[in-house]
Amino acid sequence: MTLKATVYKATLQIADMDRGVYVDHAVTIARHPSETDERMMVRLLALALFLPADNHHGMLELAKDLWDSDEPALLQRDLTGRILHWIEVGQPDDRRLMKASGRAERVTVLSFSYSTPIWWSGIMNKIGRADNIAVWQIEAPQSQALAALAQRGMRLQVMVQDGMVTVSDAQRSVEITPRRLNGA
């Protein structure tokens, strides 16, 4: 018997002072049976960090990367279907990133494992020629603390100021400082 996805619902109250984005956003997350709370919450964090201020250029959506190997974790297409932003969560290989770089205007990776430095040292020279790829590291203790906020029904406040992200629910708060590994 095939295991089915578990449905999570989240309401995000986003106050991103760095980008000037202030929005409430409701999202339904289909969590793949093999996905951990930590990875799911990093996907949700990526949605909050890169959600556009409006839908004039298409909406950023959770994609089906664990079901379909041709899709990223999050994807933004414009109204013509052109890929504007391809977002990976984890540690994709260099071939996948270079392929995405050719298909999308912008590619972003959020890596959150203790092994990020080892993974990054293995691919940084291979993707260096692609100037539309941005790689970010979330420290593992921060992503693990974020995972502790996971619930089937979540109401989260996400505040971004000066590069620091605070994610909180009614009882707890987690501070996250994404660190860019390549480029400016």
Indicate the domain borders of the chain.
6-180
Phi, psi of 51 (to 5 degrees): -60, 125
> How confident is the model over 92-119, as a mean pLDDT?
96
Distances (CA, A) of 9 to 12, 44, 103, 178: 10, 11, 30, 24
Fold of domain 6-180? Restriction endonuclease-like alpha-beta roll fold (3.10.640)
The percent of residues in the chain predicted with pLDDT above 70, rounded, is 96
pLDDT exceeds cutoff 70 at 2: no
Confidence of residue 99 (pLDDT cuts 50, 70, 90): very high
The chain-wide mean pLDDT, for the chain, equals 93
User: Which residues, 6+ apart, have CB-to-CB distance to 123 below 8 Å?
Assistant: 93, 94, 97
Please, what is the Cα angle at 92 between 86 and 98, to 5 degrees?
60
Q: What is the distance between the alpha carbons of residues 92 and 103, in angstroms, rounded to a whole number?
A: 16
Q: What is the per-residue pLDDT for 36?
A: 95
Largest CA distance in the chain: 48
pLDDT for residue 162: 97
Q: For residue 90, what pLDDT is reported?
A: 95
- Given a cut of 60, is residue 184 above it in pLDDT? no
Question: Does the reported pTM lie above 0.85?
Answer: yes
